[in-house]
Amino acid sequence: MNVGFIGAGQLAHALVKGFTAAGVITANRITASAPDTDLPTVSGLRKMGINFTTSNKEAAHRSDVLFLAVKPHIIPFVLDEIGPDIEDRHLIVSCAAGVTISSIEKKLLQYRAAPKVMRCMTNTPVVVREGATVYATGSHAEVEDGKLLEQLMASVGFCTEVEEDLIDAVTGLSGSGPAYAFTALDALADGGVKMGLPRRLAVRLGAQALLGAAKMLLDSEQHPGQLKDNVCSPGGATIHALHFLESGGFRSLLINAVEASCIRTRELQFLADQEKISPAAIKKTTLDKVLQQPGVSSTSVTTESRVNLFNNRTGVKK
């Protein structure tokens, strides 16, 4: 099995590092593609020994399982670009927040019957094999495809299948979750520094407290409220601190954060459906190369013709 990544950013980098560390696939069987070669994530991927190309089509040719790891609004462009290259063997796995299986299948059905599509929502802790992944299966993917994806994703953390309509909520919780945790850690460390701890020690202690708490919860399977109660002695320091958190709306803030991420994810699907790609996004793909062709100047290329140039170049028939 060969694995490909369209997009070579944070998520692709984290997944490749996790997969190779887990030994589930070797670096020489992985190909990633992105338009720019000077990104830190691209040099990181190259150092890991994977094949890197600036051609999405080449990444498709060289893979059996193909992860779509680009921003949601780029997905329709990528599908038009690689659609003609998708074959029976391909399992397309979209990691993009908000982009539905049906929208991907609809695009690919323009090029071939019964494209095998899966959608997953994971997070960057896959890099240390502590990711949280859910996936949903498309109408043409088979049980074996689900097993294959689960084998890959379970090698880099927790993985389970869900109904697709739960995935946006998962994005709000565990997809965005590491960002909430990093922000909390930064603030906790600030608290430690305020009270006199050196910064490095404060960060380490905060991280260890969150890591330990998460591990305790997973090992004990107790309700988090019970574990919290266990560390609040009557009249003690911790219950005083918790009162402070409650009066600042700590729980509501977290609930609102999950909700906000989930709602934004749904908006991203809407934007992807519109297929209104900004010139900046096109520039990221092939516009620069088009502009470099003799006789083509940036002033002679309108936004509309930019889209056409892009599509013609990739051989897409509208």
Ligand X SMILES: NC(=O)c1ccc[n+]([C@@H]2O[C@H](COP(=O)([O-])OP(=O)(O)OC[C@H]3O[C@@H](n4cnc5c(N)ncnc54)[C@H](OP(=O)(O)O)[C@@H]3O)[C@@H](O)[C@H]2O)c1
Place of tokens 């739960």: 166
Is 316 a binding residue for ligand X by CB under 6 A? The answer is no
Is 117 a binding residue for ligand X by CB under 6 A? The answer is no
Is 122 a binding residue for ligand X by CB under 6 A? The answer is yes
Q: How many C-beta neighbours within 10 Å does residue 257 have?
A: 17
12 versus 156: smaller Cβ distance to ligand X? 12
- Using an 8 Å Cβ cutoff, are 25 and 50 in contact? no
Residue range at the interface with ligand X (CB under 6 A); choices 45-53, 65-73, 181-189, 231-239: 65-73
Those residues with Cβ within 8 angstroms of residue 140's Cβ, 6 or more apart along the chain or in another chain: 105, 114, 115, 116, 117
Is 34 a binding residue for ligand X by CB under 6 A? The answer is yes
Is 103 a binding residue for ligand X by CB under 6 A? The answer is no
Residue range at the interface with ligand X (CB under 6 A); choices 35-43, 182-190, 226-234, 309-317: 35-43
Is 60 a binding residue for ligand X by CB under 6 A? The answer is no
Query: Between 276 and 295, how does the x/- string for binding to ligand X read (CB under 6 A)?
Result: --------xx----------
36 versus 87: smaller Cβ distance to ligand X? 36
69 versus 136: smaller Cβ distance to ligand X? 69
Q: How much of the chain is helix, strand and coil, in % rounded to 5? A: 60, 10, 30
Those residues with Cβ within 8 angstroms of residue 93's Cβ, 6 or more apart along the chain or in another chain: 65, 66, 67, 68, 117, 118, 119, 120, 135, 149
- Alpha carbons 157 and 208: distance in angstroms, whole number: 19
Residue range at the interface with ligand X (CB under 6 A); choices 92-100, 159-167, 253-261, 272-280: 92-100
Residue range at the interface with ligand X (CB under 6 A); choices 119-127, 198-206, 224-232, 288-296: 119-127
Strands 51-53, 30-33: pairing is parallel
* Residues binding ligand X: number (CB under 6 A): 30
Query: Between 124 and 163, how does the x/- string for binding to ligand X read (CB under 6 A)?
Result: x---------------------------------------
Is 123 a binding residue for ligand X by CB under 6 A? The answer is yes
Is 51 a binding residue for ligand X by CB under 6 A? The answer is no
137: which strand partners?
Answer: 118
- Using an 8 Å Cβ cutoff, are 98 and 171 in contact? yes
Residue range at the interface with ligand X (CB under 6 A); choices 3-11, 83-91, 241-249, 301-309: 3-11
Torsion of CA 99, 104, 106, 108, to 10 degrees: 160
Place of tokens 């002679």: 300
228 versus 283: smaller Cβ distance to ligand X? 283
Largest interatomic CA distance in the chain: 79
- Alpha carbons 83 and 317: distance in angstroms, whole number: 11
- Alpha carbons 18 and 31: distance in angstroms, whole number: 15
Among 72, 115, 131, 157, binds ligand X (CB under 6 A): 72
Strands of the chain (E only): list them.
3-6, 30-33, 51-53, 65-68, 91-94, 116-121, 131-137, 157-161
Could you say which residues in the range 6-25 bind ligand X, by CB under 6 A? 6-12
Give the interface with ligand X as residue ranges (CB under 6 A): 6-12, 33-36, 39, 56, 69-72, 74, 77-78, 95-97, 121-124, 175, 284-285
